[in-house]
Amino acid sequence: MEQQASQTETGSRETARAALQIASSRSREEEKRIRAEWAQRGVRVIAADYGGDFVPSVMRIVERAVVAAKREGLIAEAHAEEGAVAGAAHEAVAQISAKALGLNVGGKIGIARWDAHVVVVLFMGVGLVHLNEVCLGLGHRAI
């Protein structure tokens, strides 16, 4: 019964909110505060920065998400868990690719996990010099 109540309070939508919140954080101090707040609810969250030309960055974004998730203990070093993060990261990249193709990108990857839910959010600026657009991509997988 207690697990059932917990699932109504947390789930894929709340896990996505956690990933979005940490991906849009402004500083390391804010990241720490967000991590602590979500940890009280049983949701683990992490963030990683990235940037560069979009096309070469695609593989690095996916790799960075998997490496960060393993390093911070969000996932085990197991094929299914690594694949879930990689798949969610790839989905997030696919959502922003039309806007970012051929341009520079820079921003933050937010990753959240609660129970079997894993969410990867990309929050980034896309453009040239100071002419940036802001975009967001989100991918969810269940392990």
pLDDT in tens, 43-89: 999 999 999 999 998 999 999 999 999 999 999 999 999 999 999 99
Distant-in-sequence, close-in-space partners of 30: CB < 8 Å, separation ≥ 6:
none
117: three-class secondary structure by DSSP = strand
How far is it, in rounded angstroms, from Cα 81 to Cα 69?
9
Residue percentage of the chain with pLDDT more than 90: 87
Q: Say whether pLDDT at 8 is over 80.
A: no
How many Cβ atoms from other residues are within 10 Å of residue 6's Cβ?
14
| Model confidence, pTM | 0.91
How far is it, in rounded angstroms, from Cα 139 to Cα 92?
5
Distant-in-sequence, close-in-space partners of 63: CB < 8 Å, separation ≥ 6:
none
Amino acid residing at 112: A
Structure confidence at residue 2 (pLDDT): 39
Structure confidence at residue 9 (pLDDT): 64
Domain range list for the chain:
2-142
CATH of the structural domain 2-142, one choice from 3.40.1510.10, 2.70.98.40, 2.40.50.140, 3.40.50.1370: 3.40.1510.10
